[in-house]
């Protein structure tokens, strides 16, 4: 692995583990609850996360260039919640722009099994070819659009493996209740867990994240379950303890409860 690639990955995943904070939701769903002002949403969470996942538009408009957190730049899009098909994504951002904003990595979605499977996998291959020249890791997001029921081990394992075979250095996918270890074991690059819609309780989030980490996931890319929580900082601290300090669910819940009471 070249120096730049290794350096970027080690900043993003200290000790091989990571907590990425996505604030890219607006790229297809517009203003999202608690993300109306993304710069304000993310500010108190910065000490607890390893990187921010956002588009170049939000990066320029809402994030201070003096922050020292690595940026994972979302570089796919051009579809919306109200359009015909969320899967019909294109690459949105040139390699010059990726380098200009000093991205530590880039992320794009692939929609395997959809009508646009081939196009989105071609986007991945093209992006890998461009980014590998500059030592920039590509994170593939195995997206399901509105079809949340697709999130089961066989399908997720297939998606992760294909994304890794095409050159993704990291794959982001969904946690699943059964056989999640098979998803991780079948993928030759680190797998990190997506959040999805907000869970009913904070404990539920801590439980699934702990389960996924214990089954080999390298970390999380969790947005709504953190910044739509009534106590985002407490949630971020609790999740960080699972990822970086191997906390149990009980220990993480204690951190959450202790922190949420503080002003």
Measuring CA to CA, which residue among 75, 64, 163, 146 is closest to residue 112? 163
Of the two residues 70 and 195, which places its CB atom closer to ligand 5RP in the complex? 195
Backbone angles phi, psi at 149, to 5 degrees: -70, -10
Instruction: In angstroms, give the least distance from the CB of 6 to ligand 5RP.
Output: 25
Yes or no: say if 83 and 74 are a contact pair by the CB < 8 Å rule: no
Of the two residues 167 and 196, which places its CB atom closer to ligand 5RP in the complex? 196
Residue indicated by tokens 């690639």: 5
The 3-state DSSP class for residue 243 equals helix
Instruction: In angstroms, give the least distance from the CB of 263 to ligand 5RP.
Output: 26
Of the two residues 4 and 224, which places its CB atom closer to ligand 5RP in the complex? 224
Instruction: In angstroms, give the least distance from the CB of 87 to ligand 5RP.
Output: 11
Contacts to ligand 5RP by CB under 6 A: 22, 24-25, 53, 109, 141, 143, 194-196, 221-225
* Other CB atoms within 10 Å distance of the CB of residue 95: 17
Residue numbers annotated as active site: 172
Yes or no: say if 121 and 112 are a contact pair by the CB < 8 Å rule: yes
Of the two residues 7 and 80, which places its CB atom closer to ligand 5RP in the complex? 80
> 189-213 in b/e burial notation, b at 16+ Cβ within 10 A?
bbbbbbbbebbeebeebbbbbbbbb
Backbone angles phi, psi at 177, to 5 degrees: -65, -40
Instruction: In angstroms, give the least distance from the CB of 160 to ligand 5RP.
Output: 14
């Amino acid at each position: 692995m070249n120096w730049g690639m290794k350096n970027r990955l080690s900043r993003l995943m200290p000790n091989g583990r990571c907590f990425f904070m996505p604030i890219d939701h607006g790229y297809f769903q517009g203003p999202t609850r608690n993300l109306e002002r993304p710069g304000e949403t993310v500010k108190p969470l910065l000490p607890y996360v390893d990187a921010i996942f956002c588009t170049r538009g939000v990066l320029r408009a809402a994030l201070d260039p003096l922050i020292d957190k690595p940026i994972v730049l979302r570089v796919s899009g051009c579809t919306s919640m109200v359009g015909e098909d969320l899967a019909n994504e294109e690459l949105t951002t040139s390699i010059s722009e990726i380098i200009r904003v000093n991205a530590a990595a880039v992320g794009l979605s692939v929609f395997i099994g959809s009508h646009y499977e081939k196009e989105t996998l071609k986007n991945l291959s093209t992006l890998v070819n461009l980014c590998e020249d500059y030592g920039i890791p590509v994170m593939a997001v195995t997206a399901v659009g509105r079809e949340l029921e697709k999130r089961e081990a066989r399908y997720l394992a297939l998606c992760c493996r294909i994304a890794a075979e095409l050159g993704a250095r990291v794959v982001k996918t969904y946690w699943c209740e059964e056989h999640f270890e098979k998803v991780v074991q079948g993928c030759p690059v680190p797998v990190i867990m997506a959040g999805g819609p907000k869970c009913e309780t904070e404990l539920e989030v801590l439980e699934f994240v702990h389960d996924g980490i214990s089954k080999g996931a390298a970390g999380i890319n969790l947005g709504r379950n953190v910044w739509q929580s009534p106590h985002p900082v407490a949630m971020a601290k609790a999740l960080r303890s699972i990822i970086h300090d191997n906390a149990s669910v009980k220990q993480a819940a204690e951190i959450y409860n202790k922190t949420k009471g503080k002003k």
